[in-house]
Structure 1
Amino acid sequence: MSLLVVMAPSAASSTRAHRRPADWLFVLPSVLPACPLSSWLSIRHARRRPQAMSDPNLIVDSDFGIDDATALLLALRVDPNPLKAVTVVSGNVPVSRGVRNCRYLIALADRESLGIEVYGGATAPLVPCQPPPSQWPGHGKDGFGDASDRLPEVSSTSLHLDPPDEHAANALVRLVNQRPGHYRIVALGPLTNIALAITLDPDFLSKVASIVIMGGCLFAQGNSNRTAEFNFHHDPEAAYIVFAASQRLSQQDDVQTPTGIPPAPKLTLVPWETTIRHGFAWSLFDRIQQVSPSTPLSRFIATVAAKYQDQCRYLYDDLVKIQNMTAALTDTPSPRSVANHHQEYIMMANSFTMCDAYAMLVALDESLVTESKAWNVQIELGGQMSRGMMALDWFSSSRQGSNNTVVVFGMDVSALEARFLRVFA
C-alpha cells in the first residue's frame, strides 16, 4: 500500500495554510485523494478540552445502507434540526453511491433548504484485506435494498452533482476546529474517516462534544466474521485508532482532573447485541406499510426494507412460534441453556432492527438509554477469526488504563418505537 507522508511547512514557506506552533509529521494511506496541501494544515490546536454544549449540533458519518438511511431520516425530521454536515465512508456501498443516497434522503425529508453539506470520504479501509468482508445482502448493491427504481420521487437538482473537493476527513477537522466542543459525531459505518481525522489532528477527539458509534460485539457473536461486527471488521485499524485515542484522552483526564473524578469518555458505543436485543417485531413494519394515507417516508421504508423482510421475517416468525409453543407446553420457564440462548439470539438477529437508528436516537435523546457503563474497549487486529473483534476489559484486569468508552446496554423500547412511528407512520 502506498503511503503519503506530509510535513508541515515552516512559517516562512507557508502562504495559505493556517500556521501551527510546531512542525509535525504524519503518515496517511493513499485512500485520501489529492488536494491542496493547505487544506491538510488548517488545524488549530486547543490546549485544553473545550466545554461541550448541552445541545450540540450533529455531524453524521455513514456508509449508507438501509439502516443508515433510516437513521439519517430520523435526524432530518427533528425540529429545530441539529444536522450540519454528513461525511460518507466506504462500507455498505461505495462512497460515490453513498453521497447520492444521502442527497436523495435530504430531498426526501424536504430538508434541502438547510444547506447540509455532504462530503465524500475514504474509499477503502486503511489496510485493505483480501478477501474483503462480505456485504449483508439486505442492503442491496445500491444501499437501498436494490429498490432504487421504485423509490418515491423527489425534486432535486443536487442528486448527480459531484461532492465538494474537500475530503471528509479534512471537513471533520475543519468543522471541529472552527467550533470546539460544538459537534456530536454519529458514526454509523466503518470508522475510517474518523481515524483519518484523528491522524490529521491528534487533538481532534478532545474538541468534539462526543462521538456516538454503532459497532462492535459485546460477546464476540459476530455478524461479519465469527467474532466481529461489520463496521469494525471492515476497517479494524481505523477502529483501533479511534478507541486508542479515547484511551489516551481518558488517561490525561485521570491525571489532570482536580477532583480525581474523570469526565465521561468521549465515545459512546451502541453495540450489535444491544440493537438486536431491542429489535422490533415485524408487526411494526406492517404498521408502516399500512399507513393511510401513506407518506413519502413510510413508502420509502416499506420499499427499501422489502428485501430485508424477504430474507429475515420467515425465520423470525418461525422462532417466535417455537418460543410461544414451548412456553404454552410447560408451567415453568425453560432453563437458560446454551441452545435456548442461541435460538433467542438468532430470532432477534432476524427481527425488524435498523441497527444504526439506535445510535442515532441515542445521539438525539440520551434519555432513551436505560443502562450503560464506562469500560475499557480495545480492538483486536490479528487472528484468522478474530480480526476486528471488540474486547472489553470486563474485570478491569488489564494494564490498559482508563475507561475509554460508555457502552450502551439498555434502551427504552416503547420510547424507541414511539420515535420511530412519529417519523415513519
Structure 2
Amino acid sequence: MSGSGLSFVPVVCVNFSPFHKEIVEYQKMEPEKYLLIDCDPGVDDCFAIMMALTQSPKIKIVAITCVNGNVGIKQVAINAVRVVKVCEMLDQVPIYQGCADPVLLMPGSIDSSFYHGKDGMGDVPDIEPRSDENLLRHVQDEHAVNAIIRLSKKYEGKLQILAIGPLTNVALATRLDPDLPERLKSVHILGGTIRGHGNVTPCSEYNFFTDPEAAQMVLRGFSHRCPVQILTYEVTTDHPLPPHWFDGLLEKDSAKCNFFREVYKTPKLLELEDISAGVSTGYIICDAYIVSVVLRPDCIIKSRKLRMGVELGGNLSRGSLVIDHKSKGSPHLTEGAIELIEEIDVEKFKELVAETLA
C-alpha cells in the first residue's frame, strides 16, 4: 500500500503435491506411437486425420505427407492444412507436399468430385478454416518423399506409416532408399478389395487404381522386411456407422463438428440415397477404419496373413488386389505375408469416432 512503509516481495510458490508431480511426469511421458500420415484429403481423409490428432499427445503425429489423389496435389495440401488448423495443431504437426502424379501416368483420370466436391472437401470453402492458397505458407519446403526418408531415420524402429491415399510417396521413398522398410515399425494401408467389389471399376478400389504400380512396389518391397496391414474397401462397407447416432454427434457446436458437418453434406446425401436403395445400412467414412485399428489394435476381430499382389494390366482388373487365398503361388505375389484385416469391432470403432467429435 502506498505510504504505508511496507514493502512486498513476490513469492514463487512451488507445488510439490503428488498431483503436480503426476502432471509433470505426464508431460514428459513418451508417446505410445509415432505416426506419419500419408494422405490425399478427401472428406474421409479429413475425418481420419482428425481422429488421429484427437489422440495427441498420447499419439505423436510426426508429419502429414500429401499425395495426389482425390484432388490435385496443391489442393490436397491446402485441405490438409485446413484439417490440422481446425484441430489447432499447426504448430505441432508439419505438413509436406509430395507427388503430383502416379508412378506411371496413364491416359484419362478419375473424377471423384461427385463425392468429395471439386475441392476435395465438400465445396464449402468459406467454412472455417477457410480455403485459401495463403494456407500453403504452412506447408514445409521439403518434399514429402524426402521427409518420409528423413523421419524414418529420426524415429528408427518406432515410426508407423499410415497410408490412406495412393501409395506414390511411399513407393518412391523406397526406391530412393531401399533400406526404408527395415527402419519402420509397421505400415498400415487403406486400399484394395477382398471380394473384388470395387468402388472405381467393378473390382478395383480407388487408392490402388489411382496408382497400381506404387501399390505393387510397396507391397512387394515391404512384405518381407516390415509388418504390413491392409484394410480393404469392403471391410469399411461391412461396418457402417448408424446414421442417427452419427448425426447426433455432429450436432455439437464445436469447431470440429461445425467444420466436418459442412464438409460431409454432399457425401452424406449420396450415402442416404444408398441407404434408401438398400445398398447400404449406414455411413461409410473409409479412411477412419484403418486409423482405428492403428490407434486401437484390439479393434481387430479377425485377420489373416496371406501373400498378395496388385494387377497391373487388364481391361477390367487393373489396380485390383489379388490375394492368394489358397497358396497357389506366383512370382508376382509378395515374398512375405501381409496381414489382411477382415472384421473389426464396431463398438470400439464408434468409441474413437465419438472421441473425435467430443
TM-score using structure 1 length: 0.73
Structure 2 counterpart of 1:48:
none
The CA deviation at 1:418 is 1.6
Partner of 1:172: 148
Q: Once the two structures are superposed, what CA deviation does each residue of 1:238-284 show, in whole Å capped at 9, x if it has no partner?
A: 001001112453xxxxxxxxxxxxxxx52111100001101112213
Report the AA paired with residue 271 of structure 2.
C
Query: Cα–Cα, structure 1 residues 106 and 374, in superposed 2: closer, same or farther, change >3 Å?
Result: same
Note the C-alpha offset of 1:79.
3.1
Residue in 1 that maps onto 2:275? 316
Q: How many residues align?
A: 326
1:299 equivalenced with 2:258 (yes/no) = yes
Following superposition, the deviation at residue 107 of structure 1 comes to 1.4
Alignment of 1:2-13 (within 5 A): none
Q: Given the alignment of the two structures, is residue 222 of structure 1 paired with residue 198 of structure 2, yes or no? A: yes
Q: Which residue of 2 aligns with 1:184?
A: 160
Instruction: Say which of 373, 377, 392 aligns to 2:304.
Output: 373
- 1:282 is aligned to 2:243: yes
Task: Quote the Cα distance in structure 2 between the aligned partners of 1:401 and 1:186.
Answer: 20
1:129 aligns to 2:106 (yes or no):
yes
Sort the Cα spacing of 1:392 and 1:297 in 2 relative to 1 into closer, same or farther, 3 A: same
Helix, strand or coil for the counterpart of 1:131?
coil
TM-score by length of 2: 0.86
d(CA) in 1 for partners of 2:289, 2:274: 23
Question: What amino acid maps onto 1:112 in structure 2?
Answer: L
Quickly say closer, same or farther: Cα 1:165–1:54, change in 2 above 3 A. Answer: closer
* CA distance in structure 1 between the partners assigned to 2:334 and 2:177 by the alignment: 23
- List alignment gaps of at least 5 residues for structure 1: 1-52, 250-264, 320-345
* Aligned position for 1:104: 82
Q: Is the 8 A contact 1:186 1:212 kept in 2?
A: yes
Q: Does 1:243 align with 2:243?
A: no
Counterpart amino acid of 1:167? H
Please list, as runs of the form range in 1=range in 2, the aligned pairs for 1:252-401 lying within 5 A after superposition.
266-291=227-252, 294-319=253-278, 346-348=279-281, 351-399=282-330, 400=333
The amino acid across from 2:237 in the alignment is: I
Q: Which residue of 1 aligns with 2:68?
A: 90
Q: Distance in 2 between matches of 1:105 and 1:347?
A: 28
CA distance in structure 2 between the partners assigned to 1:369 and 1:90 by the alignment: 29
Q: Deviations over 1:310-329 (max 9, x none)?
A: 2220330342xxxxxxxxxx
Q: Between the two proteins, what is the percent identity of the paired residues?
A: 29
How far 1:174 sits from its partner (Å)? 1.1
Question: How far has the Cα of 1:82 moved from its partner?
Answer: 1.2
Correspondence for 1:24: none
Q: 1:136 deviation in Å?
A: 5.2
Does the aligned pair in 2 maintain the 1:92–1:135 contact within 8 Å?
Answer: yes
- SS of aligned partner of 1:409: strand
Aligned to 1:113: 91
Hey, what's the Cα distance between the residues in 2 that align with 1:166 and 1:352?
A: 36
* Per-residue CA distance 1:158-210 (angstroms, 9 max, x = gap): 72416333211111011112331121010000000000011001111111111
Give the partner amino acid of 2:170.
I
Aligned alpha-carbon RMSD (Å): 2.1
Shift of 1:356: 0.3
The amino acid across from 1:378 in the alignment is G
Give the partner amino acid of 1:280: L
1:118-169 per-position Cα deviation (integer Å, ceiling 9, x unaligned): 11000011111111233251111111111122x2347999724163332111
Name the structure 1 match of 2:39: 62
